[in-house]
Homo-oligomer: A and B are copies of this chain.
Amino acid sequence: MQQAIDLAHKGIVSGAGGPFGALVVREGRVIATGSNRVTSSNDPTAHAEVVAIRAACAVLGHFQLQGCDLYTTCEPCPMCLGAIYWARPDRVFYACTRHDAAQAGFDDQFIYDEINIKLSVRRIPFIPQMRPEALYLFDTWRNKTDKTPY
């Protein structure tokens, strides 16, 4: 965790992005690291956890992190939490909490709140369109015999 903290600190000082660091460990060895670089890379998804997960998957040549642990300097936001569940590491170690982050101006709680309300009343409007025309995509997927499930 100290390495993740040091990464976060370097990221702030260098101007890479926000005060967050993360890394992925496998069999006692750090296989990938990340720090927030949203503003420096013009990528709103470049949170430390996402950067570290993508890098670890690139190293392993696989889209799953079974057998790995993720260390992050802060409790993940909903986006990173989703990324973690799709990547499926064994465990997540975190240092600061979402409340610590909120006090520093990172309002993950707003997103947590929006997730739990109806799509029709969300702050960003979610508008249904052309469901009947799109449903065949799932049939195509179901019927595909050579697919890679994930």
A residues near B, CB below 8 A? 1-2, 5, 8-9, 12-13, 15, 17-20, 38-39, 41-45, 50, 53-54, 57-58, 60-65, 71, 73-75, 77-97, 100-101, 103-105, 110-112, 114-116, 119, 124-131, 133-135, 137-138, 140-142, 144, 146-150
Contact = CB atoms under 8 A, between A and B. Distances in A.
Contacts of A150: 17-18, 38-39, 44
B130 A5 contact: yes
Contacts of A100: 131, 135, 138
Contacts of A141: 12, 18-19, 104
A150 to B, nearest CB: 5
Given A17-B150, A18-B150, A96-B135, 9 more contacts: A1-B134, A19-B140, A43-B54, A78-B81, A79-B83, A88-B124, A95-B135, A97-B131, A101-B138
